[in-house]
A and B are shown apart, each in its own frame.
Chain A
């Protein structure tokens, strides 16, 4: 799980973050100002600073926030000037937007705020609908609103071209003030909450930001997207009352607390209306005590009442945002925050520590216990010395130098809202009065004052501020502070001075912060002098006790050892129930902790390099030499015998009608003649009452494929013969565990018989199935031999733990994978994981891996003249809830996750991202069922459907480590020669949003690399491949190909894209580049070879069609070509997703001659880019002589292929 951050603010206004992998609070030193509250999401953190403005801290990412500005230059032809900017009066502007309605000259584009910068100057876009245009980028038409073409015709009277310029958000990792451009400023903000990113997947980065102003109004920030992190404007949201605090969950839950202590729930929040439509009122959990704080997640609501009690709301979900009832929880908190995965944090009212709710799972949302997060803060030492010095100078600290202490002045401005200067003076002069005695009588043991007289100190300056707000009208606000002063003196004169002063003093004595102690004596006074002056605000008093903190005199803790927290936000903190956090156990003994951490780590990774370990390995091999090597001819004491394991299973019988029948299953293992192990597999079955058996030699088994589905635990066994037939031995075990036991055993047995141990080699061929299983095969030198290569159906594949959609490698052992959820993973060098346990798995480089994918079902409706669209179809129609084909009924309730390994992690939601588009409710229309659907209703449409998606998650283990944080859709690694001395290996990737990225710092020792370098493109990309000599080819989402120029060691990202026209009328989807060969696959399954690629002309000249029914291609460092093919006919059956090998590929004949069929179907991906083993080749000098550059990849790399790329 990637590292993420928990944010918190202490009572001094300092912002800290705690990493999920860390063990200490890191102060956010960048903040020049004290922050009062923060609300975090994964990509950024919003805060309210002491100037009551809102600040945004966007976390730095390798992927920049860029915005593409575009404008069109329009010209008309006239006989005199030719094309010129002299347009007809009725024409559009010379510079306009795409519609021509908006006047947009280049200089009208301004940066939206000081947080932005221009990336470069304006330039002309020379790409038109996937086709390169002429040099100047003009597109021609007969007249303005018309169809444009890239070719000039005789009747082209007008032309236009597109200018582009990018601006970039530069205020990364810093608190940037959100400019308030509005004339009617919302009054100062007091609370803020960010969320709502799960309402819709697109547009990306969309967030809902809700803010509460001091006057109790609620504001919604509109227009926050990935490209516009600051949002555009504040919109006021009408309210039934005055709001104190608001909370917005990741989804559509928004709750707020009213002054009166009720809660309000926002209703009508949807994809189209993130602001929602109305409020519903929910009563406070306890009839007498009002709510003061609320926190919501995806489907949970937590609340805190005035008496610090914590409540959990039952039955909350997207359909019922109000929930059904309150449950009282243990613990007393002043605030609570719900983060990702509905995990909960709180700040205890007792000690102001941050607590984590343990045991929150999707099935037990309320969790189990509160656990204190007890980690030190960075700079704790310096802090303690600072507080010591402040103790010494306490007198001046609270008098003269108050102004210098920004924190204190911050509080003042809070209280006074920065307006009433005189009043703030009053406060400052008032506080010294009450505190200045502290140093004069520090040893005063101060007898325990009667409880009610202990002044309550507000936890948050806002509360008192809000309290003063409660008094109607402005004047009273300014009167409030003097009233406090009055109270002070009254208390002093009332003969209880010593005790009350003692109570007040304790914070200064202990060095505890006074800054936050906005002393609010109203309550104490209210009880003390029932008919006091401020009696009019009794309700205010009770409110002021809301979320207050009673200063316990008995424990004079220093601030340095006990941080006092004011606010916590876990909205960006990604932990779940089985995540191991190191936050809890370092409170007692730091040194022993450090020690044990060290010793723990000894048995984990550094153990690999520890001297003692190395020494044991050396001595063991010495021992082998000493005691065994000279005595190999001795007889072994124990003769190897046969070992049999038996079981019962079901077998998909070979003869028709095919069905599952019960069989006995036995594996006999024995030692072969040369000491190697071997075995035979027997399947005993009854054929018309006659006992028969089927057998397979273990050394002939080429692969064991688990085929988990929701009803059976099955696996398939292939031999070369079975692969030819496309008909494996299919077996089903009774339980998943049993299946895994057998698979692990058979797999070990197969590997033993072939002498395969340990991790895959660097040359290994990797592949993945459509189920996400990962297989690896060791190539023999003969695999690419000419003219008789090893048949691909004889390749032995073994499984590696983990779950991936794509895996890519190169020959120095760098392997990357991408999961279905687009998360990138780097191979750790281990083997096993998953169901492989014990000996079939390495131990110290196996990690937890998760993957998430969506399951889709369709809701189908037919139109009838009476009721319109209903779920009543014709008798001949498909199921009203079905799969994509319509043949199988799939309802929301009966649809299960794909296999028992998967569990649901979300509810069913409408999927709007269907090809063809949808209407606002997600419907797609068509004339009849099986037809092509479109996103809007027409007169001819009688049926409609919409897609529902539900996410499920799988957790497994494997030799993979996550590479956060950018999700990827494709990755490619430079194929190196076998004995390559290349240090830093070029690795390129496409983010799942289509950005092109270049990874820096990838070496054989650090395969994960260090950081991304963003490579600008004018449109999103989808496939990329880097071949020898750093030839980078990529495919854009519109199906066009690009070649990247000038990529070199010094300039790893190259300098410009060259647009390569696609094969006519085809949209390309994938590219793979080997030593010199460039192959692409288009969306119709055609495989294309790029002709004319030469060192001097790396872009090549034209596409040549090679094959159809191709799904994917992988070209290796020897220019070997492997594909995943569809529709491969075997002798028994047809298979889709089959691994195929191009035969006859030679330097002079890079296109090869025919296909050889290997393992399949159900294969999704293959990479042969690690296999740089030169096959034993019959040397024909005449073949290699004319092309010396092609003899070996090394010589190719040495020639400066990209020195001067020819522009196209």
Chain B
């Protein structure tokens, strides 16, 4: 009998096999070998690519190196989205390993945020957690935590320590039983074909009548096109952590179990592959 705890573990230990290749235009002293790595789905690109950088720097001159950034099939990859979201959004239904091109020049300032150090990632991560808790508990839980507790969350993510992270994150996932869920569900819906980065609105886990909202309820309100009409071909896939949960899955459960470490439920709506 599988336990819900196993879902948390599976989510945390989700890995994407990735092949990093250096961009053709980079000036190298000798040919750069591709670099293969298992990337944690729940982490951030710039947080886990120190090895990649080190690998390619070996073949490059120091003066040719600017800030590293990544691109997949022409799309610059936003490091501040979790890796799993980037993969699901741009590269799901493609052949593995995921092939990412590494750039050290021409940083696309219009598309990407700069990431000079890990502290920037930490600040981004913590602000996400705080934002999520503002939605879930009016920030009460996160404000009650001490500095070292915040650090524990971050260190847990940075060092891939599931136990360390969840020992603290557990508190962020609690809610009063009589309310049946969080105040609002922290979620973000991503789509490829839009200029808007993502959809994020207030949405409660329980309807005013007291019934639990489902993933379907959320999409109906936020992104009706994602739900196939009666008798219609499915046009979109709704992907969370590389899987497609049924639309009747309760949203509160999803938020508790399939949220990223930043406490947001990242939902990717992508077109159904045509083949």
Size bracket, chain A contacts: 35 or more
- Specify which of A595, A607, A612 lies most central, judged by the most chain B CB atoms within 10 Å of its CB: A612
CB-CB < 8 A to B159: which residues of A? Answer: 638, 640-641, 643
Known contacts A592-B209, A619-B243; A634/B170 CB under 8 A? no
Residues of B near A829 (CB, < 8 A) are 1
Q: Once the chains bind, are A611 and B246 in contact (CB under 8 Å)?
A: yes
Q: How far is the CA of A1038 from the CA of B238 in the complex (A)?
A: 71
Q: Does B109 lie at the interface of the complex (its beta carbon under 8 Å from any beta carbon of A)?
A: no
Contact status of A635 and B3, CB under 8 A, knowing A599-B206, A837-B170, A839-B163:
no
Q: Which residues of B contact A630 (CB under 8 A)?
A: 17, 96
A-B contact count (CB 8 A): 144
Q: State whether B253 touches A592 (Cβ < 8 A).
A: no
Interface residues of B in 37-56 (CB under 8 A from A): 37-40, 43, 48-49, 51
Quick check: is A623 within 8 A (CB to CB) of the other chain? yes
Min CB–CB distance A839 → chain B (angstroms):
6
Given contacts A599-B210, A843-B4, is CB(A627)–CB(B16) below 8 Å?
Answer: yes
Q: Does B5 make an interface contact (CB < 8 A)?
A: yes
Q: Is B271 an interface residue, CB under 8 A from the partner? A: no
| Residue from A616, A634, A635 in contact with B245 in the complex, judged by beta carbons closer than 8 Å | A616
Check A623–B170 contact: CB distance below 8 A.
Answer: no
A596 vs B170: C-alpha distance when bound (angstroms): 25
Q: Is the Cβ of B48 less than 8 Å from the Cβ of A615?
A: no
Q: How far is the CB of A753 from chain B (nearest CB, A)?
A: 12
In whole angstroms, how far apart are the Cα atoms of A634 and B52 in the complex? 13
Residue of A620, A624, A748, A844 ringed by the most chain B CB atoms within 10 A: A620
B15 interface hit (Cβ, 8 Å): yes
Interface residue? A676 (CB, 8 A): no
Answer whether residue A608 sits at the interface, using C-beta atoms and an 8 A cutoff. Answer: yes
Contact B163 A615 (CB under 8 A): no
Structural contact, B252 and A603, CB atoms closer than 8 A: yes
**Docked CA distance A631–B252 (Å):** 33
Return A857 CB to nearest CB of chain B, in Å.
Answer: 40
Contacts of A842 in B (CB 8 A): 3, 5
Set B40, B170, B180: member contacting A600, Cβ < 8 A: B180
Of the residues A616, A752, A837, contact of B249 by C-beta under 8 Å? A616
Considering only residues 598-616 of chain A, those with a C-beta below 8 Å from chain B are 598-600, 602-603, 607-608, 611-613, 615-616
Is A280 located at the chain interface by the 8 A CB criterion?
no
Contact (A603, B212) CB under 8 Å given A615-B245, A631-B38, A838-B170:
yes
Instruction: Give A630 to B36 CA distance when docked, in angstroms.
Output: 13
Contact mask for chain A residues 806-849; partner B; CB cutoff 8 A; 1 contact, 0 none: 00000000000000000000000100000001110011100000
Query: Interface size for chain B: under 10, 10 to 19, 20 to 34, or 35 or more residues?
Result: 35 or more
Which chain B residues lie closer than 8 Å to A620 at the CB level?
Answer: 7, 10-11, 241, 243
Asked if B38 and A636 sit within 8 Å, CB to CB, the answer is yes
Q: Which of B93-140 contact A (CB under 8 A)?
A: 96-97
Docked complex Cα distance between A600 and B211 (Å): 8
Q: Which residue of B lies closest to A635 (CB)?
A: B37
Docked pose: A631 CA to B17 CA in angstroms? 6
- How far apart sit A643 and B11, CA to CA, in the bound complex (Å)? 22
Q: Are A612 and B212 in contact (CB under 8 A)?
A: no
Residues of B within 8 A of A627 (CB): 14-17, 96, 242
Contact residue among B1, B8, B243, B257 (Cβ-Cβ distance under 8 Å from A623): B243
Q: Which residues of A contact B245 (CB under 8 A)?
A: 612, 615-616, 619
With A637-B37, A842-B3 as contacts: A628 and B17 at CB distance below 8 Å:
yes
C-alpha gap A635/B97 in the complex (Å): 13
Task: Name the distance in Å between A740's Cβ and chain B's nearest Cβ.
Answer: 13
Is A626 part of the contact surface with B, judged by Cβ < 8 Å? yes
Chain A residues with Cβ below 8 Å from B250 are: 599, 602-603, 607, 612
A617 contacts chain B at the CB level, 8 A cutoff: yes
Cβ-closest chain A residue relative to B19: A634
Per the bound structure, the CA–CA distance linking A618 and B8 in Å amounts to 14
B23 to chain A, nearest CB (A): 20
Is B180 within 8 A of A626, CB to CB? no
Residues of B within 8 A of A634 (CB): 17, 36-38, 97
In the complex, which residues of chain A have a beta carbon less than 8 angstroms from the beta carbon of B39?
637
CB distance from A427 to the nearest CB of B (A): 50
Subset of 11 A-B contacts with CB under 8 Å: A592-B210, A612-B248, A612-B249, A616-B245, A623-B10, A628-B17, A638-B43, A638-B158, A638-B160, A758-B3, A839-B162
User: A616-B7, A616-B258, A638-B43 provided; 17 other pairs, C-beta below 8 A?
Assistant: A598-B211, A603-B180, A603-B212, A603-B252, A617-B6, A619-B243, A620-B10, A622-B243, A631-B17, A631-B97, A634-B36, A635-B37, A636-B15, A637-B38, A641-B159, A838-B170, A839-B166
